[in-house]
Amino acid sequence: MDSLPLFDQGAVTGISEISSPGVLLERGMQCFREGRFVEGVTCLALAREKLSADQMQIAAALDAFIQRHTSFWQAQQALFLASKRFVETETELQARLLYLEKLQLALTEDTNRASQPEAIAQPSLLIQRDQVHQSHRSSSTGSEEEQSQLPPQPFSKESKALPALYVTCFGHFEVRRCDQVIDLCHNRSGQAILRYLIAQPDYSASADTLMDVFWAEDSPEAARRKLHIAVSAVRHSLNSDYACDPGGGYILCKNQFYQINSTVSIHSDVDEFLSLWKAGQQASASQATILYESACQLYTGPFLVQDLYADWSFPRREHLHQTYLAMCRALANYYMETSHYEDARKWMGAILKEDHCDEEAHRQLIRIYSAQGRRSEALRQFQRCEHLLAEELGVSPMPETIQLLQTLLTGKPLSSE
């Protein structure tokens, strides 16, 4: 993680850094003719950056145009907000009118009931009786919940102590014992079962669950046979070089539950990653930075990438991915606040490597470039953001991003948020 590319900038087919002012000016004018104002003003601003000292007449004209565009955009925003407020006010007025109509109907019904007092008691008695019966039914059925089958207690008996395992789950799955990589079996289902057990909080799963996950389309007899073969294969590879009783060793089965032997110490990069994340949340800002950087070094790829399309692995993978992004963002914000702009740029780049369309990360990069006095790079970063959003999501930048561009065009300093 020492050098993280922002993303594949070669995939962005926008404004080239080597474009001449004339090309940029022509493209900007064409964008305005086609109604693509934001892209157009970005091109003109980049053209302005590339003008030489003897082209001040063109520079002055571009400055005036960009300034008028900013005024135009501000007027457009004010019109939009006024229109939005008009719609909201009209909607609120209609809602209040409906409420008044309901009050009027209720008032009419009360007047009618007041003229017939004998008819009031009967419905009320029915409602009270129904509430009593409903309460009785609720209390009588509350103790009839089905009891689910509980897993067996942790295994506590094994003939010999087995060495601890260190499991790598980020990126390529790997199991180490005594600092040596274990050569796992060639049975893919056996390897997948091992990964599934490792992903469970208690490293265990029932036979029925494993058959449903890996052989849902097979008959129970066929699924059970495949399960036995797969577990036997992966157990044999884990137990290699260690004398174990048949059915014993690293993977045990009891009461139709498969479990990694509870006497074995298991350490994983995921456990270390989450431990550093939790410690960082309780630490000072500077100490958290050290912890988060150590955690992010462990994130070498998605959780259990071999099971990328398996439903069972998705929730854990997404949780870990979001945790990684949160740490990257915290690191980038810390370095931004302490004016370590290159470090901040590296961690914002890490976020964009995971998600090219993370608009908040694009905005922070624009702020970083601006704080460094690199206005051209800030403008190009906006252009990259606009292009990626259009290409991958078919959307335009958010108002916050457009506002950032407008502030950048005026030459005013950008806020950190």
255 and 280, same domain (yes or no):
no
Within-domain flag for 197 = yes
The CATH number for 173's domain is 1.10.10.10
The residue type at 221: E
Dihedral angle over CA of 130, 132, 137, 140, nearest 10: -170
Minimum mean pLDDT range among 111-125, 152-166, 177-191: 111-125
pLDDT for residue 31 is more than 90 = no
Within-domain flag for 185 = yes
62 and 173, same domain (yes or no):
no
Q: What was the pLDDT predicted at 141?
A: 40
278 and 232, same domain (yes or no):
no
Within-domain flag for 364 = yes
The residue type at 237: S
Query: Quick one: what percent of the chain has pLDDT higher than 70?
Result: 74
Minimum mean pLDDT range among 160-169, 172-181, 307-316: 160-169
Most confidently predicted of 97-106, 118-127, 161-170: 161-170
261 and 393, same domain (yes or no):
no
pLDDT for residue 209 is more than 60 = yes
303 and 254, same domain (yes or no):
no
Within-domain flag for 150 = no
341 and 369, same domain (yes or no):
yes
| pLDDT grade for 416, boundaries at 50, 70 and 90 | low
User: What φ, ψ does residue 251 adopt, rounded to 5°?
Assistant: -120, 125
Task: Single out the residue in 268, 293, 308 at which a domain terminates.
Answer: 268
233 and 273, same domain (yes or no):
no
262 and 273, same domain (yes or no):
no
Q: 331 is in which domain, residue-wise?
A: 269-410
Whether the CB-CB separation of 177 and 163 falls below 8 Å is answered with yes
Q: What was the pLDDT predicted at 354?
A: 93
Within-domain flag for 149 = no
288 and 392, same domain (yes or no):
yes
Tokens 């032997």 identify what position? 261
Within-domain flag for 132 = no
How many domains is the chain built from? 3
Within-domain flag for 146 = no
171 and 264, same domain (yes or no):
yes
Q: What was the pLDDT predicted at 385?
A: 92
| pLDDT grade for 21, boundaries at 50, 70 and 90 | confident
| pLDDT grade for 16, boundaries at 50, 70 and 90 | very low
pLDDT for residue 240 is more than 50 = yes
Query: Rounded to whole angstroms, how far apart are CA atoms 383 and 378?
Result: 9
Neighbours of 342 (CB within 10 A): 9
389 and 296, same domain (yes or no):
yes
pLDDT for residue 239 is more than 50 = yes
Q: What was the pLDDT predicted at 184?
A: 93
pLDDT for residue 10 is more than 90 = no
Instruction: Write out pLDDT tens, residues 261-303.
Output: 989 999 999 999 999 999 999 999 999 999 999 999 999 999 9
Minimum mean pLDDT range among 111-125, 177-191, 344-358: 111-125
Mean pLDDT of 148-156: 44
306 and 396, same domain (yes or no):
yes
Mean of pLDDT over the chain = 80
Task: Single out the residue in 268, 302, 318 at which a domain terminates.
Answer: 268
The CATH number for 393's domain is 1.25.40.10
Q: What was the pLDDT predicted at 131?
A: 46
Task: Single out the residue in 61, 86, 111 at which a domain terminates.
Answer: 86
Q: What was the pLDDT predicted at 222?
A: 95
Higher pLDDT, 241 or 334: 334
- SS3 of the chain: the string is CCCCCCCCHHHCCCCCCCCCHHHHHHHHHHHHHCCCHHHHHHHHHHHHHHCCHHHHHHHHHHHHHHHHHHHHHHHHHHHHHHHHHHHHHHHHHHHHHHHHHHHHHHHHHHHHHHCCHHHCHHHHHHHHHHHHHHHHHHHHHCCCCCCCCCCCCCCCCCCCCCCCEEEECECCCEEEECCEECCCCCCHHHHHHHHHHHHCCCCEEEHHHHHHHHCCCCCHHHHHHHHHHHHHHHHHHHHCCCCCCCCCCCEEEECCEEEECCCCCEEEHHHHHHHHHHHHHHCCHHHHHHHHHHHHHHCCCCECHHHCCCHHHHHHHHHHHHHHHHHHHHHHHHHHHCCCHHHHHHHHHHHHHHCCCCHHHHHHHHHHHHHCCCHHHHHHHHHHHHHHHHHHHCCCCCHHHHHHHHHHHHCCCCCCC
Higher pLDDT, 120 or 38: 38
Within-domain flag for 159 = no
